[in-house]
Amino acid sequence: MNRVALRARWLAMHGVPRAYFAVQARRGDPLAQMLRSGAIDRYSLMEDIRARGRLVRSPHVWGSVDHAVCREVLRDKRFGVTAPSEMELPPPLKKLIAKTDPGVPNPVEPPAMVIVNPPDHTRYRHLVAQSFTPRAIDGLEARVTEVTMELIERISTTPNPDLIADFATQLPVAIIAEILGLPADSYPRMLQWGHSGAPLLDVGIDWKTYRDAVNGMRDVDDYLIEHFRKLRAGQPGDNPFSRMVADGSMTDRELTANAALIVGAGFETTVNLIGNGIVLLLQHPEQLRQLHDNPDLWPNAIEEILRLASPVQMTARTPACDVEIAGTHIGAGNMVGLFLGGANRDPNVFTDPTKFDITRINAREHLAFASGIHACLGAALARIEGATALRALFETFPNLRLTAPPERRGLINLHGYTRLPAQLGGRRTTSAVLPV
């Protein structure tokens, strides 16, 4: 696709919404402010939304930070996901989007399963879920421990490691490579794809960011097509994803889109779980002490980190017909923004919701992995990765400290840190990464 067509697509999908949100935000609309904030305090905006009601209307979109509303909408079969070409946009913009498809995998465009409705979604999910069965996850658990211990060894000899680049990013990349049957020399490339593709989850990104993301996705496409060709030519790996490629259940476009989704969904999120966990635990030494005294608390600590600092902050659904939710009428085709990070701080569900409490009894009721038919396929794996990585790090380096204030990534939807420069302090020799 030529540059002019790509720029036209950017304009329709991001440029026009960006300008519109800027105007609305200046008029004090908290939904528009949320969608263009990034660096400013998202949680205070979410409280503004909460103060206005359970479902809040902005001129073109509904929004909610209410736990019960978000959960209900996510589980209600009358609601579906909406691809950009199907959004309620002025007809010329819709036409432009439909005509300028660059044909590269994009985590928020069909046929990536997260943005596809049944019946296609059911078919994709059934196929891809084979890589995430309890048996498959059990098989990956030993590899998670092995990679974590290698990383611990590596950072222990790195002067002033950055716990994002040198630790938090490295574990999910190695595990996704395992799932997709990709070789170790693909890690730097996957990191690059994740980095350039992550802003695609935001609305209203600037032209350069969009262009770089699409170019990154083009590289993903070329690389994966070649990888799949090799698998079909007789080198299928011994894993469910490779077998699915080899047996021809999906077209190339479906495969690349869903493999790229797994790279993005599995990597850019888990990095943030680990990074956010490091910061929260360092900010709350008394909670860390409880974990040292009672390691059985690790699984619940992970739920509490996911709740309080949700790596994915929002999603959206659109009803196919007129519906009534929380006593509010929503017309067919009206999109509802679901602010998962806000729902996870709903005081009606979580007592003292801004408090970080690793013993919180109902921490697991969070919606950090969404709910309903698109609920995260990698949730069990992410929980294992988060607990293994954080436990190994804090047990091996009990005097770990950051040497600079943590820097936020500045994305809107994905919530995490860009750098965590650290001094590890003395190393405990008897560190053991036990199953959590």
Binding site for ligand HEM (CB under 6 A): 113-114, 125, 176, 179, 261-262, 265-266, 269-270, 273, 311-312, 315, 368-370, 374, 376-378, 381-382
Q: Which is nearer to ligand HEM, 148 or 270 (CB)?
A: 270
DSSP one-letter code for 233 = T
176: nearest Cα among 84, 304, 262: 262
Q: How far is CA 430 from CA 102, 153, 167, 396, in A?
A: 53, 13, 20, 8
- Closest-by-Cβ residue to ligand HEM is 378
Half-sphere exposure of 144 (CA within 13 A, CB side): 28
Residues found in the chain:
436
Q: Is 421 helix (H, G, I), strand (E, B) or coil?
A: strand
Q: Which is nearer to ligand HEM, 35 or 96 (CB)?
A: 35
Q: Which is nearer to ligand HEM, 177 or 424 (CB)?
A: 177
Q: Which is nearer to ligand HEM, 370 or 392 (CB)?
A: 370
DSSP one-letter code for 199 = G
Nearest-approach distance from CB 391 to ligand HEM, in angstroms: 16
Distance CA 415, CA 364 (A): 19
Strand-strand pairing, 417-419 and 407-408? antiparallel
Nearest-approach distance from CB 208 to ligand HEM, in angstroms: 26
Nearest-approach distance from CB 288 to ligand HEM, in angstroms: 20
Nearest-approach distance from CB 85 to ligand HEM, in angstroms: 17
Structure tokens at 128: 């891809």
Nearest-approach distance from CB 130 to ligand HEM, in angstroms: 12
Nearest-approach distance from CB 427 to ligand HEM, in angstroms: 27
Structure tokens at 151: 């990383």
Q: Which is nearer to ligand HEM, 87 or 261 (CB)?
A: 261
Distance CA 316, CA 330 (A): 14
Nearest-approach distance from CB 412 to ligand HEM, in angstroms: 14
Q: Which is nearer to ligand HEM, 96 or 325 (CB)?
A: 325
DSSP one-letter code for 324 = E
Q: Residue for token digits 């996901």?
A: 81
Nearest-approach distance from CB 159 to ligand HEM, in angstroms: 29
Q: Which is nearer to ligand HEM, 70 or 400 (CB)?
A: 70
The C-alpha torsion from 184 through 185 and 186 to 190, rounded to 10°, is 90
Q: Which is nearer to ligand HEM, 46 or 370 (CB)?
A: 370
Distance CA 12, CA 21 (A): 14
Nearest-approach distance from CB 117 to ligand HEM, in angstroms: 10
Q: Which is nearer to ligand HEM, 69 or 265 (CB)?
A: 265
* Amino acid making up residue 11: L
Distance CA 63, CA 235 (A): 48
Q: Which is nearer to ligand HEM, 46 or 273 (CB)?
A: 273
Nearest-approach distance from CB 376 to ligand HEM, in angstroms: 3
Q: What angle do CA 400, 406, 410 make, to 5 degrees?
A: 150
Q: How far is CA 32 from CA 49, 264, 330, in A?
A: 11, 25, 19
Contacts 24+ apart (CB under 8 A), 282-286: 282/400, 282/401, 282/402, 283/356, 284/356
